[in-house]
Structure 1
Amino acid sequence: MTRSPADLRAATLRSGAQSASGHLPALILSAERLAAMIAPGAHGLRRSGPGEDFWQYRPATQGDSARSIDWRRSARSDAQFVRDREAQTAQAVGLWVSAGQGMGYAGAPDRPTKADRAHLLALALAMVLLRGGEKVGLLGQPARAGRVQADRLAERIAASVPIPGDHDAPSPDMLRPNQRLVILSDFLTDTAWVDALLARAAGIGVTGVLMQVLDSDEEVFPYSGAVLFRSLSGAIRHDSRDAGGLRDAYLARLAERRDWLRRRATEAGWQFGHHSTGNAPATALSWLYQVLAD
């Protein structure tokens, strides 16, 4: 019996969905364990309003009720003071993880790929933020709160697939005012997009974090002798007869790239950090959460 094109497409989609969902339980379990290490809290807006934390004392004005007066503070002067609290509200956080072919690299069988580690960090961070009442979404998609959103994000992250080439970048048009972004990438390809993204972000009041995720081998360049280097897409190849002789130049270029990313981030009011897949993810997750909480 001949199957119609529609049936074939449906079968392909089901197969792809089953393949992607097969990784979902492990991803969720790992992310939940990692997220459990961080205690979430509400983020203050640094202005007076409903909240639990002390914000400031201010002189009482006409319209303030006697109940709002802080009599202990007022007793130390001739004026009356009101104790303001800091306003707290959910903030929208957008997550973006590079899908470039290079993110699929792992230098050893016992290490995760850069993409796997970035996906784990993104989902664990989302879980922590959602527990704290924040709204979270993938960049370009609605940011929502609640446990159901964690499940949605887990499904979408697990179903993500690499793009055909090495280079991947978020579109500045996907940014929305007054959100915070977390961008996870290896930043090893052309980084001209970073300037465009940060310029757009500065223009609409968006702040965030650039997090570079590298494999341990990319951090130290342990190669020597004859080595054929090529990108996972096969687009870039370099045949070296003395790989060890390239080490100093490579490490210098890596340091320059990080300095450039750090400067651009600082100028835009963003933060820059980096993480190696050979290190425990908890440190990177804690740093990401603290940066967003500041």
Structure 2
Amino acid sequence: MSDPNLLRHGAEELSAPFPPLLVEAEHLATTVLLGNHGRRRAGLGDDFWQYRPAMPFDEARMIDWRRSGRADTAFVREREWQIAQSVMLWVDQAASMSFGSLKDGTTKGWRAKVLGMAASLLMIRAGERVGLTGISLPPRGGEPQLQRIAAMLSEGDEADYGRPETTGMLPQSRALFISDFLGDIDPVEETLTEAADRGVRGALLQVLDPQEEAFPFDGRTIFESMTGALRHETLKAGDLKTAYLDRLAERKDRLETLARRTGWQFMTHHTGESAATALLWLHGALERRV
């Protein structure tokens, strides 16, 4: 039989990151709600939308057995209101997001999680369904879903840079991707193109640290990725500033062009800025049905 003390200790250790994340997200969401009355969007009814192949996360009660009986696979019957009110979230949890230069210790990753959590809170309390991209957490509503999202956002990724995915995205739904988008941009382009083909629209929020925007380095400097896998040493870091800033501006322009071409919204947010401003933008961007 399990030792109750060990079980409790393990549970407390596991849940330790959740309260700060939820508390900060709740405070941030409340700040935004004070100046906003929520979506008040009318639903589209219970009209049939389409049949789609069942995914691993689908519950048995969601399967349309009559339609499934005419094929070799199971099908789920989707309705318009389920599609219209579903938002899929991807928050980059790769190592690059753990960078932070601010004195208060705020990292890109923490700000991204708080914004993702606060946006989820606003949407779920407005009656919408939120899930995470992939097959691990399908879109649902209710307070328990917020706990599930917080738990999964507390996990990490060993890769240097994150890669968004479209797995689990419902056609005609919306999505929110939060990342520094400093890794290979090709997977981002592939994901947004595939999402656009499914009629998915949404928002890209690039989160950067002030140092990444200003490049305040000079003299002998060692640049190293957060995992240590990438390393570059130079004696004249100042000479790299112009080329770096040009590359960063090019990256932003490519992301903005990509978003515009696929019907998404794009914005860059810095961790030294107000999180409430970024959340207000997210709230408005996800409300647009383009």
Distance 1:95 1:17 in 2: 26
May I ask how many residue pairs the two structures share in their alignment? 245
Shift of 1:109: 3.8
Give the counterpart of 2:159 among 165, 168, 172: 165
SS in 1 for 2:89: strand
Distance 2:167 2:17 in 1: 31
Distance 1:182 1:121 in 2: 11
Query: Are residues 1:34 and 2:28 paired?
Result: yes
- Which one-letter code corresponds to 1:153 in the other structure? I
Aligned residue number for residue 55 of structure 1: none
Moved more, 195-204 or 173-182: 173-182
Aligned residue number for residue 87 of structure 2: 93
Contact 2:203–2:266 (Cα < 8 Å) also in 1: yes
Q: 1:16 to 1:246 in 2, by over 3 A?
A: farther
Contact 2:22–2:150 (Cα < 8 Å) also in 1: yes
Aligned residue number for residue 202 of structure 2: 208
SS in 1 for 2:32: coil
Aligned residue number for residue 283 of structure 1: 277
Aligned residue number for residue 117 of structure 1: 111
Shift of 1:149: 1.7
Q: 1:248 to 1:267 in 2, by over 3 A?
A: same
Aligned residue number for residue 274 of structure 1: 268
Residues 119-268 of structure 1: pairs in structure 2 closer than 5 A? 119-140=113-134, 141-158=137-154, 160-161=155-156, 163-268=157-262
- Which one-letter code corresponds to 1:41 in the other structure? G
Shift of 1:175: 2.5
Contact 2:204–2:266 (Cα < 8 Å) also in 1: yes
Contact 1:121–1:281 (Cα < 8 Å) also in 2: yes
Give the counterpart of 1:22 among 9, 16, 27: 16
Q: Runs of 5+ in structure 1 lacking a partner?
A: 1-6, 51-86
Shift of 1:194: 1.5
Shift of 1:18: 4.0
Aligned residue number for residue 62 of structure 2: none
Contact 2:138–2:168 (Cα < 8 Å) also in 1: no
Distance 1:251 1:244 in 2: 11
Distance 2:253 2:227 in 1: 27
Distance 2:123 2:235 in 1: 49
Q: Say what the alpha-carbon RMSD is for the aligned residues.
A: 2.5
SS in 1 for 2:39: coil
Shift of 1:44: 3.8
Distance 2:10 2:225 in 1: 25
- Which one-letter code corresponds to 1:28 in the other structure? L
Distance 1:94 1:14 in 2: 33
SS in 2 for 1:142: strand
Aligned residue number for residue 77 of structure 1: none
**Structure exhibiting the larger radius of gyration computed from Cα positions:** 1
Distance 1:260 1:133 in 2: 34
Shift of 1:203: 1.3
Q: 1:148 to 1:112 in 2, by over 3 A?
A: same
Shift of 1:43: 5.7
Shift of 1:46: 10
Give the counterpart of 1:107 among 101, 111, 135: 101
Moved more, 265-274 or 170-179: 170-179
Overall identity of the aligned pairs, in %:
41
Distance 1:17 1:198 in 2: 38
Q: Normalized against structure 2, the TM-score is what? A: 0.77
Q: Runs of 5+ in structure 2 lacking a partner?
A: 47-79
Shift of 1:142: 1.3
Distance 1:20 1:284 in 2: 29
